[in-house]
Structure 1
Amino acid sequence: MSRSISMQGQDLNIGRQRNGSNHEGFEKREKRRNIRQLQVAISQGDIELVKRILISDFDVDFQYNGQTSLQLAVCQGLPEICTLLISKGANVNQTNADGNSLLNMACWRGFAEVAVLLVNNGADINSRNESGNTSLNACAYKGFSNIAEILLSAKCDINLHNEEGQTPLYSASRTGNATMVHQLLKAGADPDWGDLTRKTPLMTAAAEGHVEVVRALLEGGASVNEQSQQGRTAVFEAAISGHNEILQELIKYKADLNLATIKGFTPLIEAISHNHIASATALIEADCDVNLADRTHWAPIHAAIRQVSSTFDPDNNSVSDVVVALVTAGADVNKCDAENWTPLYQAASAGDLEICNYLLKKGAAVDSVTKHGSS
């Protein structure tokens, strides 16, 4: 008898559990149905339907297809619907799978009105996604200066960098947005904040060929002689890329033209080696050291003769002009590289009679011997 009562009690408990489970399942299905209807209305931009659906009492932050209703409204740039959802208690600091906040999403898409709404309702203006990018960094990269002003007015951290050490100013400099660069500098951005390799905004702008950005950074107080971990400077970046107009700007700001990389590569050697004749000429005319060699004792004159030799480009008179310019500026015609090759031996090995005759007229020694005994 007692066993029978016990069994009945267990059956009742099981029944209650099933009823509870069924009730929970029903509630979950109801939530999903409400959110599905709501998100369909948002996708259609149907404000009146959204209002009617929101009369019901349900969790507006319940996710459907991996996103909340507010996230959908933000990504579609619907400020009025965003306002309705926020008034129902939607979380303005919700993030997606990549850690992007709603504000970050609005900034990336250029939705200024939505961004203002989120900021005014407590969105974290300094939140960072998985890559460490802030909303301001998104604006800087995409060039939305109007939204950047909203964030700056809200006192966001202007120098907060991403996982690669890149600040909003760095992003704007890399993409060539001079207006954004001016705006960030005026708001107090650090012009010399480098990334993880210590590459500064000025270096990246010089490398990318963004003349107006380079001017803005220089006017904003950027240090012209900062060096990256590899020892590269803005001058080096401009020279190796052949951005002569930028090089002229850097020269105007008294940049050190002789700063070499950790391997000893100089801006002049790289400009010549990459056949950027105008840049090489500009460096020579600006009185850079024409005899400064790299760690293998490879000097600018060696690089120039290699470029002008028959092995490379025998008809390139402009490169020949560089050889003349180097010698005129004081290049040592008897300078030896690591193998004891002189410019004359180098030109003779390439069969360049014109350069050989020129070097002989300028005092090149004919009795130099290489490490292997050749002359």
Structure 2
Amino acid sequence: MPFVDIARRARDGDPESFGELTRRFQGMAYGYACVLLGDAHLAQDATQEAFMDAYRNISAIRAPEAFPSWLRRVVYKHCDRLLRRKGLRVVPLEFADAVVDSAPLPGSRLVEAETERQAFAALNALPEPERAVTILHELRGYPQREVAAFLGIPLHSVKNRLRSARRKLAERMHLLANQGLNDEMPDLHERLTEVRELREACKRGDAARATVLLQRHPEIQDGPDRDERFTYPGSELWSPLHVAAVNGHEPLVRLLLDMGANPVPYEVAAQYHQDTYHDWMDVLRDRGHGAIAEGIRAAVAERYGTLVDDGDICRAAADANIPRVTALIAEKPERVRHVDPVGNTPLHHATAANCLELVRVLVDHGAPVDALNGDGRTPAVVALFGLHRYWRNELKLEILEHLLAHGAEHTPLIAASTGDEVRLRELLRVDPSLANVADTCRRRPLSGAAANGHTSVVRLLLEHGADPNAKEAICQGGLSLREAAGRGHTDIVRALLDHGAVPQHWVDSSGDAMFGAHHGGHGDIIRLLYAHGGTMELQVYSAQHRIDVIAEILRLQPSKADDVLPYGWDDDGDEDTACDIMRLAIRYGARFEDASEWKLRWTVTKYPRVFRLLCEHGAKPEGPLLGIAGDMRRRYADEADQHRHVVFLVEGMGADVNCSDEEGVTPLAKAAGAGHAAIVEYLLTRGADPNPEGPEWALPVAAADNHGHAQVARLLRDHAAH
């Protein structure tokens, strides 16, 4: 009997027909539960509960042919429920019938079992969408068409995911075979441990250990955010070169450059807040590391081009000073190719400044239209997204068209971001894999199309195998879902979710897709994300002063108490409710010794009484004092507002005015370096030491001198600073 007829009869109450559906789909449901839970016994429980639930509710199905995808959602619900139970321990790798006997094994069986274990470890390392189709098709033996129906995705997506999974499995097993059974790849915890050990090795200048670790993990030569091997649990926005350089380890810096490290470190490659066009190597000189700065300058010049001379054409271009740029080129035509310390050419800066006339002048004088800066961005990419680390849609269409007309490469990223489906089809016809290839700036075509609302382009890319979870810069995974959700592109969100986009993947400092949809006020997308397993971060409810939600969640999951403190509190609440929320978290065991300094800082500025409560349970006022004393003024209502918070921390909370960060920088030095004269004067009256112990570059007067704050430097010298 055709499947649809069986499903229709089951829906209409025929128990024998439902029994037939159970026989047909129980293996697939069990395999899917294994994917989600990673434990055979839990998967059995979830599958049994799911079929009982399905039997009770099958009458709700409108279209009998939708039974497979409806059943998948039922299985997902019961797996999710199991994962959320308090104290759950998941035992990995027990998929399907592959339960390994724990008894001692003779030699041949030992090798066989170890190979099997490694195969399942490789399978576990796959992204969930690829793992699901692999288990259901390859291990459980279901036809691809049935897998597609069950997962609710197009058949071509199943084929693409299988193709990608097979390639990854083959690569990993080949690597393991080459290494030998006793030299297996480290697991995620070991990798993360070694990644963080590398940072410490670079900080102390241990070239030998750094070399060993980089040989094991060459993918992080320019920083962990460039690593696409696995999903990092948190942001790792640093590079070995920068850490070694600021700590003054010249031999290690030379070694890293010889190994091929980008001389423009990750930390400074893209624009970040006030650090827009400054010479980042001034930091090295201020610390007395002049030789390191010169070595890096030479490496920048070798890779990106001659650095700007005293004329500083890049500064003139950033200011859109056309007469100045024209005069500098007339004096020395080669200046059109000069670069700043992070590899930007004048054309990059003119594009960022949105000055079409200057762009024309530079192009007419031979500016390289496809020059890469230290972050891998061409002027055309800058026309799309600007220079900021945190991607912004800054489409400057006239400039982009001018660059393309004068030879700039019309890349898949550009075509996708501008909705040029004709150009994109041309490229994909030649090489379909371009649908998923990252640009040199580490953005992918899919996220460019998703961010700009080009639905048909998104679908075209997905049809050609684009992976919505593929790693992009500053992202845990892909950027597409977060962009589409935050901008309200519902159809794109739906298409991405249908192709396995993970709702929980976050973007640094920007949250996940659920947060983006919430921030943008897109209720339909929030519901869609919930239906695909997305959840709102607990701190979002705290920020909204939703004590009702916090109370319900903590009752079910008391271990979440440390997640309650938000990055900031919304304006439509009150401090009494915020205090009640944090008291509730404290009753469930929350402590704040390790709370984010940013979270504490914004609590100080919004709710001082809440901060006082946090300090009674582990928080320290010194961290926020260090942050606020030297913070950029634009984050506060005015100078008096910033000053008031410093006074509260010192007089109200007893913060030590002579505390210091891990590099020996005090609040006084922070304020001096930022030019906050009133805060400097106040700290001095409260006993701040103008000559604290620590490196010379970290002294308050050195900070004032190095940043050009002569008035503050005089004030410090009047207090015997030297």
Mark yes or no: TM-score above 0.5: no
Q: Tell which structure's C-alpha radius of gyration is larger.
A: 1
Which has more helix, going by share of residues? 2
What interval of TM-score do these two structures reach, taking the shorter chain for normalisation? 0.3 to 0.5
Higher relative contact order (CA 8 A, sep 6+): 1
| Length-normalised TM-score, structure 2 | 0.25
| Length-normalised TM-score, structure 1 | 0.45
